[in-house]
Chain A
């Protein structure tokens, strides 16, 4: 009797969970699919002022191109506007930002979480205060010295600034993850004859892997999506994707090429798909590694 009741409940619960997930996915992903679909239309269909159904049927696209789908936006962005250059720059910026912030972040957060000193706490607080500063003010202040020292416009400067902006976040996040790992774990490793570093490398890091990967993902997204810093600190030839896309949108006095921007955004999301798939597997592998040790 009781077992059937439990099962009943879990079926209901499962149904509820599935519905909830389905609803969430709809809300989360719908605008993206809408954009993906629309990126193959002409502007007046996708942003139709007559009827939103045009974005689905593509009346004007049909009239202009003879078919309901056009790759004009993609062609414009990639071939005419050389979007691939921005992609390479973004890849470089993201790679270096993620590696640097994770290295400093894991070592720093580990040290802070294992340190009993009060100054460690205050260090974390100062990092936090710095993060509270609106980035636009920060960038406005950086401009003049960077121009004077000839550092402006370079990818490396931008990477350093992004790392600095991102570091407080990485420190705090990894710190919260480290806190959950019991101290006895590294102590027991050290009893086994490991040095402090070895304990960190072979015992703590594997357990921490999901946290590190998640933090890395956020650092990546920050560098990837940043507009305030990259738009102001990079010269044209070093431009990353987001300012490049912003450039497609036009200004007060000139018409932009909105469909180039839409196509560029859709194509910029594709590598992220691969990345997230990879990241998901890492989380799971981290889980097993931790379980073996635990």
Chain B
């Protein structure tokens, strides 16, 4: 545990405070099938020499955190000084990669998480009231959004929401707008991503609540019924309190997972309209030259974001804990 939990965090934090050595360039002539031309190359030996002196790279403290790719303090200050209006300030900040990612990530997290908890809860209650024989089948089909590999799932959905695909085309008919395209506009892309998010994660909430319902104390429920509690009252005063620790747990996990939203953005090729913290890490690591320090910095910021986001839930857990002690 220590090896796999502690070390990676330490190394990521370390990495985020370093940048690569200054590269030593040499001018060389390169030749391939297509002819020769002059080009700059890194002098690997000289750079290796530098590397031996400082194996971690150049220590830069927190400057990775405040550069343009991350918190962009000077750019934000500039935008504030030169703003025409608050809207203009927002536009300028939105133009910075990290802030743009944070805005989408937050909107996504706070829309998707409550919706999927409510949907999952409703499904769990409904499935629980079904006939025994039907349950297994319904559970399986309810789980499908979660278990079909997102990689291919998003490929198929990507096609289905195309303006000529079954869903995209049906929507065009529904809204009577032959030019409607879910992929071409930013707001529609956001909505699509969020609908996908709820669809994909609702089964998670459903299964946990369903399992929780199985441990519901029958005698409490019966006594509530004898007391003449209506169906709604039973749910309100017996079922929901019983499920509270599970709701906390689902909220905790889903807030965290939604905050790291990544797969749908890549699957739907949506990065023109929406970027998230994880997707900018992916961009940093995806090029031929990987930007490890930048990716580490964003990761540390993601972790901090998660901690801030979860602090109310954590505080609650802490209170419960203290009470127990």
Contact = CB atoms under 8 A, between A and B. Distances in A.
Given a CB threshold of 8 Å, the question of whether A touches B is answered with yes
A32 interface: yes
A164 B9 CA distance: 13
Interface stretch (A49-57, A59-67, A80-88): A49-57
Interface stretch (A68-76, A132-140, A187-195, A196-204): A132-140
B307 A132 contact: yes
Contact of B256 (A32, A116, A118, A132): A132
Interface of B: 1, 4-5, 8-9, 11-12, 15, 122-123, 126-127, 129-130, 132, 135-136, 138-153, 155-157, 159-160, 164-166, 169, 199, 203-204, 207-208, 210-212, 214-215, 217-219, 231, 242, 245-246, 248-249, 252-253, 256, 259-260, 262, 277-278, 281-282, 285, 290, 292, 295-296, 298-299, 302-303, 306-307, 310, 314, 317-318, 320-321, 324-325
A92 interface: no
Given A207-B215, A221-B147, A130 B9 contact: yes
Given A52-B165, A138-B8, A172 B253 contact: yes
B149 A28 contact: no
Interface in A113-134: 116, 118, 121, 124-134
A176 interface: yes
Contact of A287 (B215, B245, B324): B215
A229 B163 CA distance: 34
B314 to A, nearest CB: 7
Nearest to B166: A52
A239 interface: no
Contacts of B262: 134, 136
B126 A34 contact: no
Q: Which of B122, B153, B155, B281 has the most CB of A within 10 A?
A: B155
Contacts of A55: 166
The binding surface of chain B is classed by DSSP as: helix
Interface string A275-294: 01100110110110011001
A113 B210 CA distance: 22
A290 B215 contact: yes
Contacts of B146: 221
A103 interface: no
Contacts, number: 223
B281 A137 contact: yes
B321 A121 contact: yes
> What are the 4 A-B residue pairs with the smallest beta carbon separation, nearest first?
A164-B4, A132-B306, A176-B249, A280-B136
Contact of A133 (B9, B149, B210, B310): B9
Contacts of B151: 227, 242, 245-246, 249
A133 B303 contact: yes
Contacts of B5: 126-127, 130, 164, 168
B183 to A, nearest CB: 14
Interface in A3-48: 13-14, 17, 20-21, 24-25, 27-29, 31-32, 34-35, 38, 47-48
Given A24-B142, A50-B164, A127-B5, A35 B136 contact: no
Contacts of B135: 280
B285 A136 contact: yes
A111 interface: no
B292 to A, nearest CB: 7
Nearest to A283: B214
A269 interface: yes
A28 B144 contact: yes
B11 A141 contact: yes
A259 to B, nearest CB: 11
Contact of B231 (A13, A180, A261, A287): A13
A290 B281 CA distance: 46
A246 B151 CA distance: 7
A51 B130 CA distance: 39
A35 B148 contact: yes
Given A28-B144, A31-B145, A180-B242, 7 more contacts: A21-B123, A21-B127, A28-B142, A132-B302, A218-B207, A241-B149, A276-B140
A265 interface: yes
Nearest to A139: B285
16 contacts: A17-B130, A25-B138, A25-B141, A28-B144, A128-B256, A133-B8, A140-B290, A173-B253, A177-B211, A177-B212, A180-B246, A210-B214, A225-B150, A272-B147, A277-B140, A287-B215
Q: Which of A28, A47, A224 has the most CB of B within 10 A?
A: A28
Contacts of B208: 173, 214
A51 B157 contact: no
B280 to A, nearest CB: 10
Interface string A240-265: 01100110010000000010011001
Contacts of A227: 149-151
A91 interface: no
Given A221-B146, A265-B148, A280-B139, A133 B156 contact: no
A169 interface: yes
Contacts of B307: 129, 132
